[in-house]
Amino acid sequence: MIDHLDVMMPWALLSGGILITLLVSVIRVDTKRPAQISAVITLLATLISCLGLLQVPAETVFSGIVEISPLTHFILALFSAIGILFILGGDRYLNKEGLHLSDYYHLLLILILGASALTCSKDLVVTFISLEVMSLPAYTLTGFRRNDSRSNEAAIKYYILGGAIGAVFLLGTSFMFGATGSTNLNTIFTWSQSGHSDMVIFGMGHLLILIAFMFKVAAAPFHFWKPDVYEGAPTPVTGIMATVVTTAAFVTLVRLIHIVDFNNPSWATYAVTVKHVIRWMAALSLIVGSAVIITQKNLKRMLAYSSISHTGYLLLGVLGSLGKGEEIQSVMIYLFGYTLMTSGIFALMSQSEPKADTGIELIDLTGLMKRSPIQTMLWSIFFFSMAGMPFTVGFFTKYFVFMSSIGSGETPLVVLAALCTVVSAYAYMRPIALMVMRDADPTAANWNSGFWSQIVAVAAAAGVVFLGVMPNAMIQYLKGIPLIH
C-alpha cells in the first residue's frame, strides 16, 4: 500500500485538505475566509501534484480496484482547476445571496473527491460508493438556497430520483455479480472474452448500470430532472454540476460500456442491442435538447436543454468508439471543450445584479452591447462555441465526434445531429441578437463584472478561441492518453 503513495499523492492531498478545511472553519466562526482559503490551497496543491504525475504510466493500486493513469491525473487536475475557478468566480455571488457558509466549501471538496474517485474506479462497488460520494454533496448544494422554494424542490427531486437510480445501479451490479462472480471490471472483461450461458442475466445487469449512468448524464428520456435542478441550484453549483459531474459520469459511462469484449463474436447480438439503446438515446437527446431549447426564456433552463443536446453529441462519440477503444478520444476532446465553455458561461452568469439566480431571463441580456461591450463579446464567444461555429473549440469537438461515428457507419444519426445543430444554432444566436440589436429593456438586470469572475470568463474565452484556431495542441495531448485497455 505504502509503495503506491507517490501516485496516490493528489488523493492524499485532497482528502487531507478536506479534513483541514473542516478544522479551520471552526477556528473563526464569524468569517468564512479560512475555509475558502484552505479549500483553494487544497485544490491548488492537488492540481500541482497531478500535473507532476502526468507522465507516470498507468498502474492499478489497492488490489486492482483503483486504476491510476495519466487520464485520471488529468481529470483530477481538470476538476481541481474547475473547483478553484468556481470558488474564486462564485465569491461575489455567494456573498450577494447570503450563502457564504463554510459548508459550501466542504461539500464542494467532497464532491470533487467523489467525482475523481469515480473516474479511476475499476470495481463496481467502488463505482457505487464514489457515485454516492459525488451525488450527496450535489443534492445538498442544489438545495443550498434554503429560502427559495424552487431550490428546495429541485433538491428533493434530484435526491429522490438519484436515490432510485442508485438502486437501479445496485440491481444491475448484483445481476452482473451473479453472472460473472466478480465486481472487478478487469475480471469481468476477462470473463466476457469467451461465450457463457449467463449472457442474458449479464446483459440485463449491464444495461441497468448503463441506464443509471445515462440518468446521471441526463440522456433523454432520463433528462426530466435536469432543467429543474439547473434552475433551482445556485449558479456556481449549476456550473460545477455541468462540468465536474457530467465529465465524471461520462468517463465512467464509457468505461462501463467497454467492460464487455464487443469484438468477441459471441457478444455480437448483445452489441447490436447496446448500439440500439445508445443510438435511440442519442437521437432523442439531440431532438429534445435542440427542439425545446428554442422555447426557453430562462437562461439557466436554456443551458440545461443545451447540455441535454450536448449529451446527445457525446453519445454519438461513444457510439463511434464501441468495439474499438482507441477512438474514445473524440469523447474526451468534446468533454474538455464543453467544460471550458460551460465554465466561462457560468462565470459570466454570476455577474448579473440584483436578481442573480433563478430569474435570469433572456430579456436581461438586451442592450448589453451598449452597456458593456466586453461582456457582450465574451457571451458571444461562448454562444458561438456552443452552437459549433468555426474558429471556436465547439466546432472541432463536434467535428471529431461526427467523424468518429461516421467511421462506424452511423451516417443517418450524424445527419440528424447536423440538422439539430442548425436548429439549435437559432437558439444560441437569439441572445446575441438581443444583446446587439435591441435597446436595454427597462426591467433588464445590471451586469457588473466582478474581478475574479471576469478573469475566469476571459481565461475560458481565450481557451475557447485558442483551441478553436489551433486544436492540435489539445488533440495531440489527449490522443496520447489511454482510456481503455
Partner 1 sequence: MDFGLLAFSIFSTIAILGSIMVILKKSPVAAAFSLVLVFFAFAGLYALMGAHLVAALQILVYTGAIMVLFVFVIMLLSQDEPVNDLKESSGLFKGVSVLGILGLMGLLIRAVLTARGMVPTGTLTDEKIVSMGGNVRLISEGIFTDHVFHFELTSFLLLGAVVSTVALAKRKAVSGGSKA
CB of 229 to partner 1, least distance (A): 16
Q: Measure the CA–CA gap between 468 and 385, rounded to whole angstroms.
A: 9
Contact between 146 and partner 1 per CB under 8 A: yes
User: Counting runs of H as helices and runs of E as strands, what totals does the chain give?
Assistant: 21, 4
Q: What share of the chain is helix, strand, coil (3-state, %, to 5)?
A: 75, 5, 20
Contact between 1 and partner 1 per CB under 8 A: yes
Q: How far is CA 253 from CA 200, 257, 439, in A?
A: 20, 6, 45
Segments in 388-485 forming alpha helices (H): 393-407, 411-437, 451-469, 472-479
Q: Which of 101, 423, 455, 458 binds partner 1 (CB under 8 A)?
A: 101
- Options 43-51, 130-138, 203-211, 214-222: segment touching partner 1 (CB under 8 A): 130-138
Contact between 92 and partner 1 per CB under 8 A: no
Q: Which of 15, 182, 186, 298 binds partner 1 (CB under 8 A)?
A: 15
Contact between 149 and partner 1 per CB under 8 A: yes
From the list 294, 138, 134, the residue with the least C-alpha distance to 226 is 138
Q: Which of 42, 46, 140, 235 binds partner 1 (CB under 8 A)?
A: 140
Contact between 117 and partner 1 per CB under 8 A: yes
User: Helix, strand, or coil here: 264?
Assistant: coil
Please check whether residue 182 is in contact with residue 126, taking contact to mean a CB–CB distance below 8 angstroms. Answer: no
From the list 338, 293, 329, the residue with the least C-alpha distance to 311 is 338
Rounded CA Rg of the chain: 22
For the segment 57-76, give every residue that binds partner 1 (CB under 8 A).
62-63, 65-66
From the list 418, 422, 396, the residue with the least C-alpha distance to 336 is 396
- Options 125-133, 192-200, 202-210, 214-222: segment touching partner 1 (CB under 8 A): 125-133
CB of 301 to partner 1, least distance (A): 17
Q: Which of 17, 83, 89, 143 binds partner 1 (CB under 8 A)?
A: 143
Phi, psi (5° rounding) for residue 68? -100, 125
Q: Which of 136, 199, 377, 458 binds partner 1 (CB under 8 A)?
A: 136
Q: Count residues contacting partner 1 (CB under 8 A)?
A: 39
- Which residues contact partner 1 (rule: CB under 8 A)? 1, 15, 18, 22, 62-63, 65-66, 97-99, 101, 103-104, 106-107, 110, 113-114, 117, 125-126, 129-130, 132-133, 136-137, 139-140, 143-150, 357
